[in-house]
Amino acid sequence: MDYNTAYFAQSAFPLVWIVVPAIGAALKARHATSPRQRLEIWQRWWAIGAMGIGSLWMTVAFTAFPEVMATAIGFNRTPFLFEIAFANLGLAVMGFRAASASARERITIGLGAGMFLWGAVIGHLYQWFANGVHNPGNTGGVLVNDILIPAVMIILAVKSRRLAATPQQTADITA
């Protein structure tokens, strides 16, 4: 595998945590019988797949393979990697909790995740532009994930809350 292909593969890999839940939700939601059910399917797939499993993967990667992760993000191995692992464990727990949470709780979970992940985006961009750190774990797919995972969770939860505030139409069943 040449350098460009390897770089692209490493940079794009994090996108699996948003692509797989999106495909799964889209396939499952085709059979939904109402907009509320469709939205709930999307929220659960996103919470479990994107935030829960994606963050759990990061926990495992940073604890089991710290040298690989340090190289991927372009930094030396430091105790900071252990802290990132457990911050991701917190995100995983919140993601799994969001699967059965209310819309209000999902908004809060999305905001909490956003505080960490959007802060990470600022750090990644700073390292990229100030110090030229363009390693695959510092730019590319990780930036997309860090922006979209909390943003989509918040957007879906807000839509769910608005939908819940509107009266549900029931079909008139007459035989």
Question: Tokens 């797939």 — which residue?
Answer: 45
Q: What is the pLDDT of residues 90-122, one digit of tens each?
A: 999 999 999 999 999 999 999 999 999 999 999
Place of tokens 């750090």: 123
From the number of C-beta atoms within 10 Å of its C-beta (0-12, 13-18, 19+), residue 109 rates as buried
User: What DSSP string describes 15-55?
Assistant: GHHHHHHHHHHHHHHTT-SSHHHHHHHHHHHIIIIIIIIHH
In the block, residue with structure tokens 């994930």: 145
Coil, strand or helix at 142: helix
Q: What is the pLDDT of residue 145?
A: 97
Q: Give the pLDDT band of residue 173 (cuts 50, 70, 90).
A: very low
Residues 132-145: tens digit of each pLDDT = 999 999 999 999 99
Residue 3: what pLDDT?
A: 78
Q: Would you place residue 35 in the very low, low, confident or very high pLDDT band (cuts 50, 70, 90)?
A: very high
Question: Which positions ≥6 away from 143 have C-beta within 8 Å?
Answer: 121, 124, 125
pLDDT at residue 22 greater than cutoff 90: yes
If you ran DSSP here, which 8-state letter would residue 79 be given? T
Domain regions of the chain by residue span: 17-164
Note the pLDDT of residue 168: 65
The helix/strand/coil state of 136 is coil
* pLDDT of 171 above 60: no
In this prediction, residue 175 carries a pLDDT of: 43
- pLDDT tens for 41-88 read 999 999 999 999 999 999 999 999 999 999 999 989 999 999 999 999
